Amino acid sequence: MLKTSSAARCFKFRKQRGFTLIELLVVISIIATLMSLILPAVQNARAAARQMQCRNNMRNVGTAVLANATKRKDRIPAYGRFVPILPSGITNPSPHQIECAPLGSVNWVVDCLSELDRQDLFDRWDFGAPIGHAGNTALGQTHLTVLACPDDDSAFQQPGGLSYVISSGFADIEAVRRYKSTIDAGNVPTETQMHNFTAISFDWDEDGNTPGGTAAPFSDAQDEMVTKSSGVSWIQVGQNNMSQTMNSIYDGVSNTLLLSENINAGVMGTWSNPAPSNCTFMYAVDGDQVDSTSYPDPPLPDGVDSTPNAMRFAGEGTPFPSSNHPGVVNVIMCDGSARNISENIDRRVYVQLLTPVGVKAKWPGLVLEDPVSQSEF
C-alpha cells in the first residue's frame, strides 16, 4: 500500500478547508441582500426617532407658549413687538406715513424664554433697543436645541436657527415680502407693510373701505374683525398685544393650530427676529378676490399654495408649514397637544384648523374683543 507523504496530507487538508470562488460570491450576495433589507429599516427607525424628537421639542415649546399666555391673562404672545413712529408735522397721518420699528428684536420666542428655562437670556435682553442691536443679536444667535428640528439642516447651519413658528392667520404675502425688503435695505417699514389685521387690505364686506387703504378713513372695523379671526398671534404695539385670548378661540383649542414646523423659518439669522417670514406661518390670500362669501375658502394668489409642504422647496423665508418628515408636518394645537398633518390634507379642512373662529366669522355677529382704532396703532 502506498503511503501518502505528510506534505501531501497537509495540502489535501488545506484544499478541503478552502472556499471556491462561487461559494464566496454566494456568501457576499447573501450579505448584500440582508444589508439591503436591514438598512432601510434602520434608516426608517432613525427617521422616526428624529420625528419623535421634533415632536417632543414642539411639545416643550407649546407648553412654554401656553404658560406665557396664562401669565398674560390667557392672551397668546404676539408674534413680534413694534413701536409706531409718527411723522413730524402731520396731525392725521395715513398708514402709508406711519413707520413701525421692530422693538428690541423681540418676537414670541423671546417673550417665552423664561418658560423655556432660559431666564438667563431673558434677563440680559434689552427690550427697548432697536433691531440689529449687537447684544440682542448675539443672544438671539444662541443655539437652543428645543427650537430646532433634527431633520432641519438649516436650523443647525446658522447659530440662530429656528424650526418652529406661530400661527398668524390670513396674509397679504406681497406686504410680507415688502416688509422683509425694507428691513434688508436698512429702513423702517410703514404700517401698510405690516402683517396685521389693522393694515391688511382685505375688503371682506365689499363696502369699498379696507384697513390700511389708499384713501381715508384708512380702516374698516368689519374687515379687521374678519381678518383677525383667521389667526391666533398678531403684533404687539406698545403695551397693546393684539393676539387672540384662549377664550376667543371659538372653534375649540383642540381644533385650532398654534405652532407648526417650517424648515424655511429663521431666515433673518436669529430666532428672535420679529419678521413674520422669520417666526410665523400664515395663509396667503389674494386680497383682490375676497368677498363676503370667501372666508371659509379664501382665494389664493397665483403661484402660491399655503398648505403643509406645498412650497417646501420655495426657499428660506417662505412662511408656510413644511418639514423633512416623510409626508407629514408636526403641529401643536392650542390645547398643547401634538399632532401631525398630512401634506395631502384637504385645503378647506386645513383652513378650518388654522382659523380660531372658522366659518363662524360671518358678520355682523363677530365682535372684536379689543377693538383697535387707527390712533392706537
- Alpha carbon of 215 to those of 6, 81, 201, 218, 219: distances in Å? 111, 27, 11, 6, 9
In a domain, 306, yes or no: yes
pLDDT at residue 18, rounded to an integer: 66
pLDDT score, position 4: 53
281 CB-side CA count, 13 A: 35
In this predicted model, which residue has the larger pLDDT, 77 or 268? 77
Domain count, the chain: 1
Q: Does residue 253 or residue 217 have the better pLDDT?
A: 253
Q: What is the pLDDT of residue 12?
A: 53
Give domain status of residue 258, yes or no.
Answer: yes
Whole-number pLDDT of residue 372: 40
Phi and psi dihedrals of 199, rounded to 5? -125, -10
Three-class secondary structure assignment of the chain: CCCCCHHHHHHHHHHHHCCCHHHHHHHHHHHHHHHHHHHHHHHHHHHHHHHHHHHHHHHHHHHHHHHHHHHCCCECCCCEEEEEECCCCCCCCCCCCCEEEEEEEEEHHHHCCCCCCCHHHHHHCCCCCECCCHHHHHHHCCCCHHHCCCCCCHHHHCCCCCCEEEEEEEECHHHHHHHHHHHHCCCCCEHHHCCCCCCCCCCCCCCCCCCCCCCCCCCCHHHHHHHHCCCCCCEEECCEECCCEHHHCCCCHHHCEEEEECCCCCCCCCCCCCCHHHHEEEEECCCCCCCCCCCCCCCCCCCCCCCCCCCCCCCCCCCCCCCCCCCEEEEEECCCCEEEEECCCCHHHHHHHHCCCHHHCCCCCCCCCCCCCHHHC
Average pLDDT over residues 81-88: 87
**Residue 354 vs residue 39, higher pLDDT:** 354
Tell me: pLDDT of 69 over 90: yes
Establish how many alpha carbons lie within 13 A of residue 84's alpha carbon, considering only the half-sphere containing its beta carbon: 21
* Cα separation, 190 vs 214, whole angstroms: 13
Q: Which carries the bigger pLDDT value, residue 166 or residue 363? A: 166
- Domain assignment present for 79: yes
- Does residue 302 belong to any structural domain of this protein? yes
Among 23-32, 100-109, 319-328, the range of highest mean pLDDT? 319-328
Residue 76 confidence (pLDDT)? 97
Summarised one tens digit per residue, pLDDT across range 219-277 is 888 899 899 999 999 999 988 999 999 999 988 999 999 999 999 998 888 999 999 99
What is the SS3 string spanning 31-47?
HHHHHHHHHHHHHHHHH
Q: Is the pTM of this model over 0.75?
A: yes
Q: What is the grid cell recorded at 70?
A: 396664562
Residues in the chain: 377
C-alpha–C-alpha distance, residues 136 and 143, integer Å:
14
pLDDT bin (cut points 50, 70, 90) of residue 46 is confident
42 vs 234: which has the higher pLDDT = 234
Residue 166 within any structural domain of the chain: yes
| Residue 361 clears pLDDT 70, i.e. is over it | no
* Residue 14 belongs to some domain of the structure: no
Average pLDDT, the chain: 86
Domain-embedded: residue 210: yes
pLDDT band of residue 41 (cuts 50, 70, 90) is low
Contacts of 121 (CB under 8 A, 6+ apart): 113, 139, 142
Checking if the pLDDT of 326 tops 50, the result is yes
Residue 15 has a pLDDT of: 52
Q: Which domain holds residue 122?
A: 42-369
Q: Is the pLDDT of residue 21 over 60?
A: yes
Residue 374 forms part of a structural domain:
no
> With contact defined as beta carbons under 8 Å apart, do 28 and 22 qualify?
no
